[in-house]
A and B are shown apart, each in its own frame.
Chain A
Amino acid sequence: MSVRSRPLSPHLQIYRWTITMTMSIAHRATGLGLYAGTVLLVVWLGAAAIGQDALDLVNLVYGSWFGQLVLFGYTWALFHHMMGGLRHFVWDFAVMMEPGQRESLAWASIVISVVLTLLVWTAFVWVG
C-alpha cells in the first residue's frame, strides 16, 4: 500500500503579518500599558494631595524629555485602546467582519488613534 504524505498547512513561505492580527496584539499591549500607566496618574494626584514639594518633584520628572516621551506614548495607548474598544462594539453587532471590512476597520483604528494623539499634543502641548 502506497502511503501518500498528508498535506501540510501552508507555513512560513506564505506567512503574512496581517493588520487585524497586529491591531489585536496592539489592543492587548496598549491595555497592559495603560494598566501600568495608571500609576503615573495616581502618583501625580497623590503628590498634589501631599504637598507642593512632592508635586514639584513629579512635575520635574514628568516634564523631562523622557517623561514627556512616556506621556506621549501613554496618550497614544489611551486613544488606540479606545479605538480598539469601539471596534469591538461594532463587532458585537456582528457587522464589519467580512474580508476587506475588518482590514478597513483595523487601519481606521490605527490612523484615527495617531491623528487624535497628534491633535491633542498639538493643541495642548506644542501650541497651547
Chain B
Amino acid sequence: MHDQVITTATVADPKSKYGDAKASTRHFVTQRVTGAINILFILFLVFIVASLAGRGREEMVATLGNFWIGIPFAVLLAIVTIHMRNGMRDTLEDYVAGGTYRLAMALNTLFSAAIALVGVVSILKLVFWG
C-alpha cells in the first residue's frame, strides 16, 4: 500500500504486511498475461499499419472492416489498455503517494478507458457501418 510508512519497527516485526497480497498478485499475473497477449497485438498492428498506412477510407474499411481482422484487433486493443493502466500504476506507485497518487491513478484510469473507448468504437464503426 502506497500510504504505508515503513519504519525499523515495521521491518523488525515478522507479522508486518506490505500491501494487499491478493491485489498485488492479481496485478502481477494480469500484467504478465496481458503482456503475453500483447505480442499478438504487435503482430496485428504491424500487419494493419504496414498494409494501411497512408491509405484512404475505402481500403481501411476493406481490411480493418473485415470482421475477422477488426474484432480481434479491437479486443487486443482493449487488452493493451489494461496493460498500460497496470504499467502506469507501477510507475506512479514508485514516485507519488497519498492524494497525489489517487488523483494520478484516477487520471490514469480515465486516459486508459478513453483510449479503449475511442479505439474500439472507431473499429466497430468501420466493421459494422463501413
B57 to A41, Cβ gap below 8 A? Answer: no
Q: Taking A42-B115, A120-B50 as contacts, is the C-beta distance between A89 and B126 under 8 angstroms?
A: no
Q: How far is the CB of B93 from chain A (nearest CB, A)?
A: 12
Q: How far is the CA of A107 from the CA of B45 in the complex (A)?
A: 26
> Which of B49, B57, B88, B91 makes the CB contact (< 8 A) with A51?
B57
> Cβ of B122 < 8 Å from any Cβ of A?
yes
Chain A at the B interface: SS class: helix
Interface size class of B (residues with CB under 8 A): 20 to 34
Chain B residues closer than 8 Å to A123, beta-carbon distance: 50
> Cβ of A35 < 8 Å from any Cβ of B?
yes
8 contacts between A and B (CB under 8 A): A38-B84, A41-B77, A45-B122, A46-B119, A55-B60, A62-B53, A89-B32, A124-B46
- Contact surface of B with A, Cβ cutoff 8 Å: 32, 35-36, 38-39, 42, 45-46, 49-50, 53-57, 60-61, 64, 77, 80-81, 84, 87-88, 91, 115, 118-119, 121-123, 125-126
- Contact surface of A with B, Cβ cutoff 8 Å: 28, 31-32, 34-35, 38-39, 41-42, 45-46, 48-49, 51-52, 55, 59, 62-63, 78-79, 82, 85, 88-89, 92, 120, 123-124, 128
